[in-house]
Amino acid sequence: MRTNVEHILVVLLTLAVIVALSARIIPEHFPGMDLHKYRAIADVSPDIANDIPRPFAFRLLGPYIVGLLPLETSTGFYVFTVLLSFALLVVVYLFLTALTVKRRVSLYVTVLYAFNYFLFSYNIWNYFQIADLLALLCEIVLLWAMLNHRWGVFAAVLFAGVVCRETPLIMVPVALVYIVERRMMTSEGIKLLMAALPAVAMFILIRMFIPYEGGMALWESAQVHIGKFLVPATWFKLLIRSFTPLTFLAIVFFTDFVDYLRRRKYLVCLFVLVLLSTMFGTDNERLMAPAFVIFYLPLAFSLQKHLKSDWAYVFLLIVTFGVGYYYMTGQDLLAGIVSEKVVAIVPAAVLAVVTYLFKLGGEGRLRQLLRSQ
Protein backbone atom coordinates (compact mmCIF):
# COMPACT_ATOMS: atom_id res chain seq x y z
CA MET A 1 0.00 0.00 0.00
CA ARG A 2 2.83 2.38 0.89
CA THR A 3 4.46 1.71 -2.49
CA ASN A 4 1.22 2.56 -4.28
CA VAL A 5 0.94 5.86 -2.41
CA GLU A 6 4.55 6.76 -3.22
CA HIS A 7 4.04 5.88 -6.88
CA ILE A 8 0.83 7.92 -7.06
CA LEU A 9 2.76 10.87 -5.65
CA VAL A 10 5.28 10.40 -8.48
CA VAL A 11 2.38 10.41 -10.93
CA LEU A 12 1.15 13.64 -9.37
CA LEU A 13 4.63 15.16 -9.69
CA THR A 14 4.78 14.06 -13.34
CA LEU A 15 1.48 15.78 -14.06
CA ALA A 16 2.68 18.89 -12.22
CA VAL A 17 5.72 19.03 -14.52
CA ILE A 18 3.52 18.67 -17.59
CA VAL A 19 1.14 21.37 -16.37
CA ALA A 20 4.04 23.71 -15.59
CA LEU A 21 5.66 23.23 -19.01
CA SER A 22 2.61 23.10 -21.25
CA ALA A 23 1.41 26.16 -23.05
CA ARG A 24 -2.33 26.85 -22.91
CA ILE A 25 -4.52 27.33 -25.91
CA ILE A 26 -5.75 30.87 -26.50
CA PRO A 27 -9.37 30.37 -27.64
CA GLU A 28 -9.49 33.63 -29.58
CA HIS A 29 -6.64 32.43 -31.80
CA PHE A 30 -8.65 29.38 -32.89
CA PRO A 31 -12.14 30.64 -33.80
CA GLY A 32 -13.12 27.48 -35.69
CA MET A 33 -12.16 24.89 -33.06
CA ASP A 34 -14.51 22.62 -31.13
CA LEU A 35 -13.69 24.34 -27.86
CA HIS A 36 -16.14 27.17 -28.56
CA LYS A 37 -19.03 24.71 -28.70
CA TYR A 38 -18.06 23.21 -25.34
CA ARG A 39 -17.72 26.67 -23.80
CA ALA A 40 -21.17 27.58 -25.06
CA ILE A 41 -22.66 24.46 -23.42
CA ALA A 42 -20.94 25.30 -20.13
CA ASP A 43 -22.02 28.95 -20.26
CA VAL A 44 -25.73 28.09 -20.15
CA SER A 45 -25.47 25.16 -17.69
CA PRO A 46 -27.67 24.02 -15.94
CA ASP A 47 -29.86 24.92 -18.92
CA ILE A 48 -29.42 23.21 -22.29
CA ALA A 49 -28.03 25.21 -25.21
CA ASN A 50 -30.12 25.00 -28.38
CA ASP A 51 -27.68 26.44 -30.94
CA ILE A 52 -24.80 23.95 -30.79
CA PRO A 53 -24.09 21.91 -33.94
CA ARG A 54 -23.95 18.12 -34.03
CA PRO A 55 -22.21 16.10 -32.62
CA PHE A 56 -20.97 18.58 -30.01
CA ALA A 57 -24.48 19.31 -28.75
CA PHE A 58 -24.73 15.72 -27.57
CA ARG A 59 -21.45 15.69 -25.58
CA LEU A 60 -23.09 17.15 -22.54
CA LEU A 61 -21.65 15.75 -19.35
CA GLY A 62 -18.21 17.37 -19.20
CA PRO A 63 -19.15 20.94 -20.20
CA TYR A 64 -22.34 20.69 -18.12
CA ILE A 65 -20.32 19.88 -14.97
CA VAL A 66 -17.87 22.71 -15.71
CA GLY A 67 -20.80 25.10 -15.99
CA LEU A 68 -21.92 24.15 -12.50
CA LEU A 69 -18.54 24.95 -10.94
CA PRO A 70 -18.24 28.28 -9.08
CA LEU A 71 -15.48 29.37 -11.44
CA GLU A 72 -15.11 31.45 -14.59
CA THR A 73 -15.79 29.15 -17.55
CA SER A 74 -12.24 28.87 -18.92
CA THR A 75 -10.80 28.46 -15.43
CA GLY A 76 -13.37 25.78 -14.70
CA PHE A 77 -12.37 23.85 -17.82
CA TYR A 78 -8.70 24.05 -16.89
CA VAL A 79 -9.16 22.96 -13.27
CA PHE A 80 -11.46 20.10 -14.26
CA THR A 81 -9.03 19.00 -16.99
CA VAL A 82 -6.11 18.85 -14.55
CA LEU A 83 -8.18 16.86 -12.03
CA LEU A 84 -9.39 14.45 -14.71
CA SER A 85 -5.86 14.07 -16.06
CA PHE A 86 -4.60 13.07 -12.61
CA ALA A 87 -7.49 10.65 -12.19
CA LEU A 88 -6.76 9.09 -15.58
CA LEU A 89 -3.08 8.55 -14.79
CA VAL A 90 -3.89 7.01 -11.41
CA VAL A 91 -6.47 4.70 -13.00
CA VAL A 92 -3.97 3.66 -15.69
CA TYR A 93 -1.37 2.86 -13.01
CA LEU A 94 -3.85 0.87 -10.90
CA PHE A 95 -5.18 -0.92 -13.98
CA LEU A 96 -1.67 -2.05 -14.93
CA THR A 97 -0.95 -3.32 -11.42
CA ALA A 98 -4.29 -5.14 -11.40
CA LEU A 99 -3.16 -6.98 -14.55
CA THR A 100 -0.07 -8.26 -12.68
CA VAL A 101 2.38 -5.74 -14.11
CA LYS A 102 4.91 -5.05 -11.35
CA ARG A 103 4.34 -1.76 -9.57
CA ARG A 104 7.73 -0.38 -10.60
CA VAL A 105 7.09 -1.15 -14.27
CA SER A 106 3.51 0.12 -13.99
CA LEU A 107 4.85 3.44 -12.73
CA TYR A 108 7.39 3.72 -15.55
CA VAL A 109 4.78 2.93 -18.20
CA THR A 110 2.28 5.37 -16.68
CA VAL A 111 4.86 8.17 -16.81
CA LEU A 112 5.79 7.22 -20.37
CA TYR A 113 2.12 7.50 -21.28
CA ALA A 114 1.83 10.87 -19.51
CA PHE A 115 4.70 12.29 -21.59
CA ASN A 116 3.02 11.26 -24.86
CA TYR A 117 1.78 14.55 -26.22
CA PHE A 118 -0.86 13.37 -28.66
CA LEU A 119 -2.40 10.63 -26.53
CA PHE A 120 -2.36 12.50 -23.21
CA SER A 121 -0.73 15.87 -22.61
CA TYR A 122 -2.36 17.52 -25.63
CA ASN A 123 -5.38 17.83 -23.36
CA ILE A 124 -3.45 20.11 -21.01
CA TRP A 125 -2.85 22.49 -23.90
CA ASN A 126 -6.38 22.26 -25.28
CA TYR A 127 -8.04 21.99 -21.89
CA PHE A 128 -11.54 22.28 -23.32
CA GLN A 129 -11.48 18.66 -24.56
CA ILE A 130 -13.16 17.43 -21.37
CA ALA A 131 -15.17 14.90 -23.38
CA ASP A 132 -11.98 13.13 -24.50
CA LEU A 133 -10.63 12.73 -20.97
CA LEU A 134 -13.94 11.48 -19.61
CA ALA A 135 -14.21 8.98 -22.48
CA LEU A 136 -10.68 7.69 -21.78
CA LEU A 137 -11.49 7.25 -18.09
CA CYS A 138 -14.65 5.39 -19.05
CA GLU A 139 -12.68 3.15 -21.42
CA ILE A 140 -10.26 1.97 -18.70
CA VAL A 141 -13.02 1.37 -16.16
CA LEU A 142 -15.10 -0.46 -18.79
CA LEU A 143 -12.15 -2.71 -19.61
CA TRP A 144 -11.62 -3.46 -15.91
CA ALA A 145 -15.35 -4.17 -15.44
CA MET A 146 -15.41 -6.42 -18.52
CA LEU A 147 -12.37 -8.43 -17.44
CA ASN A 148 -13.86 -8.90 -13.98
CA HIS A 149 -17.41 -9.56 -15.25
CA ARG A 150 -18.75 -6.61 -13.27
CA TRP A 151 -21.62 -5.93 -15.62
CA GLY A 152 -23.40 -3.57 -13.24
CA VAL A 153 -20.35 -1.30 -13.20
CA PHE A 154 -20.03 -1.75 -16.96
CA ALA A 155 -23.67 -0.62 -17.44
CA ALA A 156 -23.33 2.45 -15.20
CA VAL A 157 -20.05 3.65 -16.72
CA LEU A 158 -21.21 3.02 -20.29
CA PHE A 159 -24.40 4.97 -19.57
CA ALA A 160 -22.37 7.94 -18.30
CA GLY A 161 -19.89 7.53 -21.14
CA VAL A 162 -22.40 8.03 -23.95
CA VAL A 163 -23.38 11.35 -22.37
CA CYS A 164 -19.71 12.37 -22.61
CA ARG A 165 -18.92 11.24 -26.14
CA GLU A 166 -19.77 8.57 -28.71
CA THR A 167 -16.57 6.51 -28.40
CA PRO A 168 -17.38 4.58 -25.18
CA LEU A 169 -19.95 2.60 -27.20
CA ILE A 170 -16.98 0.96 -28.93
CA MET A 171 -16.62 -1.10 -25.78
CA VAL A 172 -19.85 -3.02 -26.50
CA PRO A 173 -18.51 -4.92 -29.54
CA VAL A 174 -15.15 -5.21 -27.75
CA ALA A 175 -16.90 -6.90 -24.82
CA LEU A 176 -18.79 -9.15 -27.23
CA VAL A 177 -15.53 -10.30 -28.83
CA TYR A 178 -14.13 -10.86 -25.33
CA ILE A 179 -16.92 -13.17 -24.16
CA VAL A 180 -16.95 -15.05 -27.50
CA GLU A 181 -13.16 -15.44 -27.34
CA ARG A 182 -13.41 -16.73 -23.76
CA ARG A 183 -16.31 -19.01 -24.74
CA MET A 184 -18.63 -17.43 -22.19
CA MET A 185 -21.46 -16.44 -24.50
CA THR A 186 -23.96 -18.67 -22.73
CA SER A 187 -23.23 -17.35 -19.26
CA GLU A 188 -22.28 -13.73 -20.00
CA GLY A 189 -24.00 -12.81 -23.28
CA ILE A 190 -27.34 -11.83 -21.76
CA LYS A 191 -25.55 -9.87 -19.04
CA LEU A 192 -23.67 -7.85 -21.65
CA LEU A 193 -26.91 -7.23 -23.54
CA MET A 194 -28.66 -5.96 -20.41
CA ALA A 195 -25.65 -3.80 -19.53
CA ALA A 196 -25.53 -2.22 -23.00
CA LEU A 197 -29.25 -1.52 -23.52
CA PRO A 198 -29.58 1.49 -21.17
CA ALA A 199 -26.58 3.22 -22.76
CA VAL A 200 -27.79 2.52 -26.31
CA ALA A 201 -31.21 3.87 -25.35
CA MET A 202 -29.63 7.02 -23.88
CA PHE A 203 -27.48 7.45 -26.98
CA ILE A 204 -30.64 7.44 -29.13
CA LEU A 205 -32.73 9.59 -26.78
CA ILE A 206 -30.08 12.32 -26.59
CA ARG A 207 -30.12 12.60 -30.36
CA MET A 208 -33.91 12.67 -30.42
CA PHE A 209 -34.53 15.28 -27.73
CA ILE A 210 -31.45 17.49 -27.30
CA PRO A 211 -31.80 20.52 -29.60
CA TYR A 212 -29.01 21.30 -32.02
CA GLU A 213 -28.33 23.68 -34.89
CA GLY A 214 -26.62 22.37 -38.00
CA GLY A 215 -23.58 20.14 -37.98
CA MET A 216 -23.32 16.63 -39.36
CA ALA A 217 -24.63 13.25 -38.34
CA LEU A 218 -21.98 10.59 -37.81
CA TRP A 219 -22.59 8.95 -41.16
CA GLU A 220 -22.38 12.34 -42.92
CA SER A 221 -19.10 13.08 -41.16
CA ALA A 222 -17.75 9.71 -42.22
CA GLN A 223 -18.63 10.44 -45.86
CA VAL A 224 -16.73 13.73 -45.66
CA HIS A 225 -13.58 12.38 -44.01
CA ILE A 226 -13.23 8.79 -45.21
CA GLY A 227 -11.15 9.90 -48.18
CA LYS A 228 -8.27 10.76 -45.85
CA PHE A 229 -7.47 7.03 -45.57
CA LEU A 230 -6.20 7.23 -49.15
CA VAL A 231 -3.56 9.79 -48.13
CA PRO A 232 -0.23 8.34 -46.86
CA ALA A 233 0.26 11.24 -44.47
CA THR A 234 -2.87 10.16 -42.62
CA TRP A 235 -1.39 6.74 -41.86
CA PHE A 236 1.86 8.36 -40.74
CA LYS A 237 -0.09 10.40 -38.19
CA LEU A 238 -2.36 7.55 -37.09
CA LEU A 239 0.23 4.80 -36.69
CA ILE A 240 3.59 6.49 -36.16
CA ARG A 241 3.28 10.04 -34.89
CA SER A 242 0.51 9.21 -32.40
CA PHE A 243 2.78 6.88 -30.40
CA THR A 244 6.11 8.67 -30.90
CA PRO A 245 8.78 8.25 -29.62
CA LEU A 246 7.86 4.73 -28.47
CA THR A 247 6.40 3.71 -31.83
CA PHE A 248 9.17 1.36 -32.98
CA LEU A 249 9.27 -0.52 -29.66
CA ALA A 250 6.42 -2.53 -31.17
CA ILE A 251 9.07 -3.80 -33.62
CA VAL A 252 11.72 -4.36 -30.93
CA PHE A 253 9.22 -6.45 -28.97
CA PHE A 254 7.33 -7.69 -32.01
CA THR A 255 7.07 -11.31 -30.90
CA ASP A 256 5.87 -10.32 -27.46
CA PHE A 257 3.28 -7.92 -28.90
CA VAL A 258 1.98 -10.59 -31.27
CA ASP A 259 1.84 -13.25 -28.56
CA TYR A 260 0.03 -10.91 -26.19
CA LEU A 261 -2.55 -9.77 -28.73
CA ARG A 262 -3.08 -13.23 -30.24
CA ARG A 263 -4.58 -14.27 -26.90
CA ARG A 264 -6.55 -11.04 -26.58
CA LYS A 265 -8.41 -10.51 -29.81
CA TYR A 266 -10.75 -8.09 -28.06
CA LEU A 267 -7.86 -5.63 -27.93
CA VAL A 268 -7.30 -6.02 -31.66
CA CYS A 269 -11.02 -5.34 -32.10
CA LEU A 270 -10.64 -2.21 -29.96
CA PHE A 271 -7.75 -0.98 -32.11
CA VAL A 272 -9.63 -1.57 -35.37
CA LEU A 273 -12.72 0.23 -34.08
CA VAL A 274 -10.69 3.21 -32.84
CA LEU A 275 -8.94 3.36 -36.20
CA LEU A 276 -12.31 3.36 -37.97
CA SER A 277 -13.66 6.01 -35.60
CA THR A 278 -11.01 8.45 -36.80
CA MET A 279 -12.99 8.80 -40.02
CA PHE A 280 -15.39 11.07 -38.12
CA GLY A 281 -12.84 13.87 -37.76
CA THR A 282 -9.56 15.37 -38.91
CA ASP A 283 -7.41 15.60 -35.78
CA ASN A 284 -5.84 12.22 -36.47
CA GLU A 285 -3.37 11.81 -33.63
CA ARG A 286 -5.80 12.94 -30.93
CA LEU A 287 -8.51 10.67 -32.28
CA MET A 288 -6.17 7.71 -31.75
CA ALA A 289 -6.08 8.35 -27.99
CA PRO A 290 -8.48 5.48 -27.10
CA ALA A 291 -6.03 3.08 -28.79
CA PHE A 292 -3.36 3.73 -26.17
CA VAL A 293 -4.42 0.59 -24.30
CA ILE A 294 -3.50 -1.75 -27.15
CA PHE A 295 -0.01 -0.26 -27.27
CA TYR A 296 0.90 0.34 -23.63
CA LEU A 297 -0.46 -2.96 -22.26
CA PRO A 298 1.77 -5.28 -24.36
CA LEU A 299 4.57 -2.74 -23.95
CA ALA A 300 4.32 -2.99 -20.16
CA PHE A 301 4.61 -6.78 -20.21
CA SER A 302 7.44 -6.64 -22.77
CA LEU A 303 9.44 -4.17 -20.69
CA GLN A 304 8.83 -6.24 -17.58
CA LYS A 305 10.11 -9.35 -19.33
CA HIS A 306 13.17 -7.96 -21.09
CA LEU A 307 14.42 -4.78 -19.38
CA LYS A 308 15.89 -5.35 -15.92
CA SER A 309 18.10 -2.28 -15.71
CA ASP A 310 16.72 0.96 -14.31
CA TRP A 311 19.04 2.76 -16.73
CA ALA A 312 16.99 1.41 -19.63
CA TYR A 313 13.86 2.99 -18.17
CA VAL A 314 15.70 6.23 -17.46
CA PHE A 315 16.72 6.39 -21.11
CA LEU A 316 13.14 5.73 -22.23
CA LEU A 317 11.87 8.47 -19.92
CA ILE A 318 14.47 11.01 -21.05
CA VAL A 319 13.75 10.54 -24.76
CA THR A 320 9.99 10.46 -24.23
CA PHE A 321 10.13 13.58 -22.08
CA GLY A 322 12.31 15.35 -24.64
CA VAL A 323 9.90 14.69 -27.49
CA GLY A 324 6.94 15.57 -25.29
CA TYR A 325 8.65 18.79 -24.23
CA TYR A 326 9.19 19.70 -27.86
CA TYR A 327 5.50 19.32 -28.63
CA MET A 328 4.43 21.02 -25.41
CA THR A 329 6.61 24.09 -25.79
CA GLY A 330 8.99 24.13 -28.73
CA GLN A 331 7.30 23.12 -31.93
CA ASP A 332 6.33 26.68 -32.85
CA LEU A 333 9.90 27.87 -32.28
CA LEU A 334 11.32 25.21 -34.59
CA ALA A 335 8.53 25.25 -37.17
CA GLY A 336 10.01 25.25 -40.66
CA ILE A 337 13.42 24.14 -39.33
CA VAL A 338 12.61 20.61 -38.14
CA SER A 339 9.94 18.65 -39.98
CA GLU A 340 7.27 16.72 -38.12
CA LYS A 341 8.52 13.51 -39.73
CA VAL A 342 12.03 14.02 -38.34
CA VAL A 343 10.71 14.65 -34.83
CA ALA A 344 8.45 11.60 -35.01
CA ILE A 345 10.91 9.16 -36.58
CA VAL A 346 14.49 9.99 -35.51
CA PRO A 347 14.00 9.89 -31.70
CA ALA A 348 11.81 6.79 -32.10
CA ALA A 349 14.51 5.05 -34.13
CA VAL A 350 17.29 5.94 -31.66
CA LEU A 351 15.15 4.83 -28.74
CA ALA A 352 14.34 1.54 -30.48
CA VAL A 353 18.01 0.76 -31.21
CA VAL A 354 19.15 1.49 -27.64
CA THR A 355 16.23 -0.45 -26.18
CA TYR A 356 17.12 -3.40 -28.42
CA LEU A 357 20.69 -3.31 -27.07
CA PHE A 358 19.37 -3.30 -23.51
CA LYS A 359 17.13 -6.22 -24.45
CA LEU A 360 20.08 -8.17 -25.86
CA GLY A 361 22.59 -7.68 -23.10
CA GLY A 362 21.77 -4.74 -20.90
CA GLU A 363 24.28 -2.08 -19.94
CA GLY A 364 27.32 -4.21 -20.84
CA ARG A 365 26.29 -4.51 -24.49
CA LEU A 366 25.63 -0.77 -24.67
CA ARG A 367 29.04 0.10 -23.16
CA GLN A 368 30.71 -2.28 -25.61
CA LEU A 369 29.05 -0.52 -28.52
CA LEU A 370 30.06 2.91 -27.25
CA ARG A 371 33.71 1.86 -26.77
CA SER A 372 33.84 0.60 -30.37
CA GLN A 373 32.99 4.04 -31.75
Consecutive sets of 10 residues in the chain, 373 residues long: mean pLDDT of each? 83 95 87 88 90 90 93 94 96 95 95 95 92 95 96 97 94 97 93 96 94 83 84 92 95 96 95 92 89 95 92 93 85 62 90 91 54 50
Using a cut of 0.85, tell me whether the model's pTM lies above it. Answer: yes
Predicted local confidence at residue 61, as pLDDT: 93
The residue range of the domain holding 358 is 2-366
Tens of pLDDT, residue by residue over 75-130, are 999 999 999 999 999 999 999 999 999 999 999 999 999 999 999 999 999 999 99
Considering its fold, how many domains does the chain have in total? Answer: 1
Residue 171 lies in a domain: yes
Is residue 371, in this structure, part of any structural domain at all?
Answer: no
373, part of any domain: no
* Predicted local confidence at residue 8, as pLDDT: 93
pLDDT of residue 219: 79
Report the greatest alpha carbon distance in the chain. 70
Is residue 25 in some structural domain? yes
Q: Is residue 286 one of the residues assigned to a domain?
A: yes
Q: How far apart are the first and last CA of the chain?
A: 46
Burial of 31 by CB count in 10 Å (0-12 exposed, 13-18 middle, 19+ buried)? exposed
Q: Is the peptide bond before 198 cis (omega within 30 degrees of 0)?
A: no
pLDDT at 197 (0 to 100): 97
* pLDDT given at position 370: 46
pLDDT at 215: 81
pLDDT digits (tens, 9 = 90+) for 46-69: 898 888 998 899 999 999 999 999
Q: Rounded distance, CA 57 to CA 41, Å?
A: 8
